């Protein structure tokens, strides 16, 4: 793969900015090779192709000179004239002020930062070209820190550019003129072979990639600058499709590579599954049956399952996972179930024990907080157990499985890539490459995001809620109305209901004046002395948390003050009230998850969101969405619009490359097209497909996740909440 050549070449500058940019650049010329390479590396530019695909942020029009009298306010323009005067002024701060005159009028040039040696550039009588945005000042139209070019006195001025001037993303110490020269050199010397099949280009009316990049680097003066700025231009459409297609190819090739690996064939007898189904007091929903069948077929195949089971809060994901566990156990394999918190892991342990222990399933529990003697006993039990449930303790040294065939990871976005791989490797043996993996997420993923970032996974969606669930009514109240809630809350508790009161902090913060969990517990205990108020937060010892949660689940505590440790997995059917303090401080996914802790029984449920003013525009938008929407998929879609895929996916954790140019919110048609083209591209033109992905992803192609054993691991989805 060719690397960039970073020789200085012709280093003469067109412009003479007074910001000191040239001076700093000049000091580094002696060590330009290594220094320039490090700067380019910060922009992930290491090959000529990288430079060609480093496209402009915007453009400046230097193709015509505008008379000073016709300059428009705040509109960047090129002017030309002679310096009449240049003076140092000491007002609020020291500054250089010069007057430039042409046949139509006079323009003030103002510099707040400059070097003494650069004052000679503004010598009276010297002819200059200046570029900048004019504004109206006390002395008339002026430009602050314009870009300058000195014109020679004895020769005609150089011709104006014939195309718009590109402005590129740069990094500290790298001048705009330097990156422009490097890109021009790359465009002249580096070939850019076409990778898309001609029949596709004709069908979709696409220009060639070479046409697109040359136009975008040097658009003509009459180009539609609005379409360019908004990236709606046909040449931008080609670029964005290529980028999306490269991502799809990379993920689909990883998916195909994984399917070449071996895995235990877990067909199961169906005996344990039928026994569980017969013991349930309710039938499965159609969505649960569909997802369970998809997983059943995966487990019966000889390659490792990598399936994401996603569904809204309360849609029944855990039961679908339990059916997969039954199939693994029927086949003689062990199953491991990993959850991110001890509260959630214990909830799963209790639920699985209730479902499966009566059917003869041996279940072990592993937690990092267990005492040494108990931990060693549980590790020993894990070797022989049918199902092992725990937190990160499952991946600790000394925890061994004899026949691990299925891994279930709940709230999988809360685990790092290496943690998930460490658990997977517990099942690697001489005869089995990797166990099957079922990942669960209660955060629904918008469709375009799923197509773009889950193309290496099989996805099952629980899009149906179990019958009998009462809807949760959401209300917004200013935090000053806390006192009004007390009498209503007391009446609800007196009627046999239970309630959560959620706070964003455990104790006081000097920077955030939020009501803390500790203060709220004291306040509620004093205000409602006839009731016992529980308190649970992340700093409590595990035994204390378990004791409080058990008492709340048993109905011994009518009111529980908590932090977000109860965000997921807590299932208390009698809890029908939720109060969230300072709801404006929570993200949409958190608010939806917290609200999902109520409405799990037959009683009508209410979620009160207390907020403090003033609200930021983003906080106001979040509260409006959570108030209007109960559908997790719609909330996720609108959350994506607010945050963008970078924050929503949290892919920095896994190294999955984010998109530079395409937008999942705005380019849904291109996302769908790339998703549709990736597999036939790989099948019919595998070499071109690999070159296409490598061109856009560089060293990130097939290296977004550490590799282990014989399996080349694929990039993974990590939702950043």
Q: Do 341 and 454 fall into the same domain?
A: yes
pTM of the predicted protein model: 0.76
Q: Do 408 and 516 fall into the same domain?
A: no
Last residue of some domain: 160, 184, 207?
Answer: 160
Look at residue 16 and tell me if it is in a domain: no
Last residue of some domain: 629, 644, 674?
Answer: 629
370 neighbors 398 (Cβ within 8 angstroms): no
> Which secondary-structure segment (H or E) carries 119?
none
Q: pLDDT averaged over consecutive 10-residue blocks of the chain (721 residues)?
A: 47 39 41 72 91 95 95 94 91 87 95 78 92 91 92 88 95 92 93 92 94 96 93 96 94 86 90 95 93 96 92 88 96 91 84 94 81 64 86 77 89 64 66 80 76 81 80 91 88 90 76 76 93 88 83 91 75 88 89 87 88 92 93 83 60 53 88 93 94 86 40 28 18
pLDDT of residue 427: 64
Q: Do 490 and 450 fall into the same domain?
A: no
70, with CB counted inside 10 A (0-12, 13-18, 19+), is exposed
For residue 445, give both structure tokens.
């993923």
pLDDT in tens, 625-666: 999 998 888 888 888 778 766 554 543 334 444 688 998 878
Q: In CATH, what number is assigned to the domain containing residue 132?
A: 2.40.50.140
143 neighbors 42 (Cβ within 8 angstroms): no
pLDDT in tens, 559-599: 999 988 776 656 788 888 999 999 999 888 889 888 988 88
Look at residue 109 and tell me if it is in a domain: yes
Q: In CATH, what number is assigned to the domain containing residue 450?
A: 3.40.50.300
Cα–chain center distance at 50: 23
Calculate helix-pair angle for 617-628, 588-595, nearest 10 degrees: 30
443 neighbors 450 (Cβ within 8 angstroms): no
Look at residue 477 and tell me if it is in a domain: yes
Q: How many domains does the chain have?
A: 3
Sheet containing 363-366: order of strands: 363-366, 387-390, 334-338, 404-410, 436-441, 306-311, 458-462
Q: Please report, for residues 437, 489, 490, 555, 596, the alpha-carbon distance to residue 496 in angstroms, rounded to integers and kept in the order given.
A: 41, 11, 10, 9, 20
Q: Is the bond preceding 83 in cis, omega lying within 30 degrees of 0?
A: no
Residue 260: other Cβ atoms inside 10 A: 11
Look at residue 192 and tell me if it is in a domain: no
Contacts of 368 (CB under 8 A, 6+ apart): 342, 391, 392, 393, 396
User: What DSSP character marks residue 513?
Assistant: -
Q: Do 326 and 350 fall into the same domain?
A: yes
Q: Do 454 and 515 fall into the same domain?
A: no
Q: Please report, for residues 10, 30, 43, 563, the alpha-carbon distance to residue 6 in angstroms, rounded to integers and kept in the order given.
A: 12, 12, 15, 54
Report the distance separating Cα 568 and Cα 410, nearest Å.
Answer: 10
pLDDT in tens, 322-360: 999 999 999 999 999 988 888 788 888 989 999 999 999
115-139 residues labelled b (16+ CB within 10 A) or e (exposed)? eeebeebbeeebbbbbbbebeeeee
Residue of 76, 148, 69, 75 whose CA lies nearest to 111 = 148
**Structural domain of 508:** 472-629
Look at residue 185 and tell me if it is in a domain: no
SS3 (DSSP) at 134: strand
């Amino acid at each position: 793969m060719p690397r960039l050549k970073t020789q200085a070449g012709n280093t003469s500058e067109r412009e003479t900015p007074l910001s000191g940019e040239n001076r700093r650049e000049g000091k580094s010329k002696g060590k330009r090779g290594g220094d320039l390479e490090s700067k380019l590396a910060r922009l992930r530019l290491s090959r000529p192709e990288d430079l060609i695909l480093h496209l402009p942020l915007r453009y400046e029009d230097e193709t015509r000179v505008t008379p000073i009298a016709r300059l428009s306010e705040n509109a960047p323009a090129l002017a030309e004239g002679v310096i009449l005067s240049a003076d140092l002024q000491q007002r609020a701060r020291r500054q250089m002020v010069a007057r430039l005159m042409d046949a139509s009028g006079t323009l003030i040039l103002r510099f707040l930062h400059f070097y003494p040696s650069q004052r000679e550039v503004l010598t009276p009588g010297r002819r200059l070209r200046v570029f900048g945005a004019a504004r109206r000042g006390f002395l008339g139209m002026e430009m602050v820190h314009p870009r300058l070019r000195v014109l020679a006195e004895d020769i005609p001025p150089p011709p104006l550019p014939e195309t718009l001037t590109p402005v590129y993303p740069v990094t500290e110490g790298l001048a705009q003129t330097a990156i422009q020269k490097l890109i021009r050199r790359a465009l002249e010397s580096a070939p850019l072979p076409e990778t898309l099949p001609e029949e596709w280009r004709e069908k979709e009316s696409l220009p060639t990639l070479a046409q697109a990049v040359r136009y975008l680097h040097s658009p003509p003066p009459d180009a539609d600058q609005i379409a360019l700025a908004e990236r709606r231009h046909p040449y931008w459409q080609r670029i964005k499709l290529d980028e999306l297609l490269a991502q799809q190819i990379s993920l689909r090739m990883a998916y195909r590579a994984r399917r070449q690996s071996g895995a235990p064939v877990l067909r199961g007898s169906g005996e344990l599954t039928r026994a569980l189904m017969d013991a349930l007091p309710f039938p499965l929903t159609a969505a649960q049956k569909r997802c369970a069948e998809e997983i059943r077929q995966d487990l019966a195949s000889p390659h490792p399952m990598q399936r994401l089971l996603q569904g809204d809060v309360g849609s029944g994901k855990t039961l679908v996972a339990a059916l997969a566990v039954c199939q693994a156990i029927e086949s003689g394999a062990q199953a491991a179930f990993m959850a991110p918190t001890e509260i959630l892991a214990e909830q799963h342990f209790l639920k699985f024990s209730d479902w499966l222990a009566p059917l003869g399933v041996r279940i072990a529990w592993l937690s990092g907080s267990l005492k040494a003697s108990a931990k060693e006993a549980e590790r020993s039990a894990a070797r022989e157990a049918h199902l092992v449930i725990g937190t990160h303790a499952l991946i600790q040294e000394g925890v061994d499985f004899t026949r691990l065939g299925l891994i279930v990871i709940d709230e999988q976005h809360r685990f790092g890539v290496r943690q998930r791989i460490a658990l997977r490797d517990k099942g690697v043996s001489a005869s089995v490459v990797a166990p099957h993996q079922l990942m669960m997420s209660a955060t629904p993923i918008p469709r375009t995001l799923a197509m773009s970032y889950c193309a290496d996974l099989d996805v099952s969606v629980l899009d149906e809620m179990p019958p009998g669930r009462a809807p949760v009514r959401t209300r917004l109240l200013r935090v000053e109305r806390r006192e009004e809630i007390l009498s209503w809350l007391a009446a609800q508790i007196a009627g046999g209901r239970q309630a959560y009161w959620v706070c964003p902090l455990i104790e006081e913060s000097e920077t955030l004046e939020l009501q803390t969990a500790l203060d709220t517990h004291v306040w509620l205990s004093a205000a409602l002395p006839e009731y016992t108020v529980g308190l649970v937060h992340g700093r409590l010892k595990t035994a204390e948390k378990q004791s409080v949660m058990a008492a709340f689940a048993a109905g011994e505590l009518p009111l529980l003050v908590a932090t977000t440790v109860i965000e997921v997995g807590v299932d208390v059917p009698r809890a029908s009230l939720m109060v969230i303090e300072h709801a404006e401080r929570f993200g949409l996914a958190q608010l939806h998850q917290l609200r999902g802790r109520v409405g799990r029984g037959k009683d009508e449920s209410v979620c009160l969101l207390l907020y403090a003013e003033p609200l930021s525009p983003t906080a106001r938008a979040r509260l409006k969405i959570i108030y209007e929407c109960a559908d997790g998929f719609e909330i996720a879609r609108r959350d994506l619009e607010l945050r963008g895929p970078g924050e929503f996916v949290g892919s920095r954790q896994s190294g999955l490359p984010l998109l530079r140019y395409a937008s999942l919110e705005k380019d849904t048609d291109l996302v769908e097209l790339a998703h549709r083209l990736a597999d036939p591209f790989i099948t019919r033109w595998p070499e071109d497909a690999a070159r296409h992905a490598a061109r856009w992803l560089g060293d990130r192609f097939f290296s977004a996740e550490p590799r282990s054993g014989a399996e080349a691991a694929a990039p993974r989805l990590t939702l950043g909440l």
